[in-house]
Amino acid sequence: MSAVVMDGNALRDEIVAGLAATISAAGSPEICLATVLVGDDGPSRRYVNSKHKKAAEAGMVSRHAELPATATQAEVEAVVAELAADPNVHGILVQLPLPDGLDPEPVLDLVPAEKDVDGLTERSMGRLVRNRPGLVSCTPLGVMRLLQKYDVPTSGRRAVVIGRSTLVGLPLSLLLNRKGADATVTMAHSRTSDMASVVREADIVVGAAGQARMITADMVKPGAAVIDVGVSRTEAGIVGDVDFGPVAEVAGWITPMPGGTGPMTIACLLENTLTAARLQGAFPTH
């Protein structure tokens, strides 16, 4: 029996349409997402462009600040500080990675927690750890939205998250463990002993290590939900951490790569932008 394929593109479009309806019903107040791009990295530029396109579909306005790869640390920080101080900007996203020689941490520190729509700053992570209202990293939030959409049970289930980054692995582990989701979570990583046996015990498997096709069919419990977040660029194109075809014959649910968690990252960025506007009192809470 083949797994249910969890369509991130379809759910993204559903979320964007819902945001557009919510904004329109409130009288279309101007909600602004600002992005900062330093340098001319092709994938980063395409990703930023897709964010602006979907923001427009959601009824939001966009502002884009672009600096050359030769920009100094002070110049990048000045742009972010200006956006942070602007009351007409509700969400700020600094596209990472920054060019070599620039330190992202002081840049991110300038983003107020209530405008941190990427959920990357220390304050945002601290709010997540303490279960306080705030903005959550977009990819982990997108994974949770997919699990909810496809009625994947989490309460009392065992989840294994492979990868411990602050961008995906750590915040997703916290979200899965949070009251309401109530999964029992193991965070696996490159030093995990006998990875296959650890993964085989899981009802929910999340691959976020960036190692092409590392999760094979023999590692997956029959009927498990398998979520692919890892991205590897190969001669054959983009592949994920999951060996999709064989694993789909064993799993109960599975995300494709591409077309699964990637579109959900953009959807949740826009969801976070509306939440940010509410946190700032710029949009009605109901």
Catalytic residue positions?
A: 51, 95, 118
Neighbours of 199 (CB within 10 A): 24
- Nearest-5° angle of CA 117, CA 227, CA 98? 40
- The reply to whether omega before 97 is within 30° of 0 (cis) is yes
CA distance 24 to 20: 6
Sign of the dihedral defined by the CA atoms of residues 161, 35, 89, 271, in that order: negative
Q: What is the rounded distance in angstroms from the CA atom of residue 266 to the CA atom of residue 46?
A: 12
CA-to-CA distance for 184 and 177, rounded, in angstroms? 6
The tokens describing 157, both together, are 């289930």
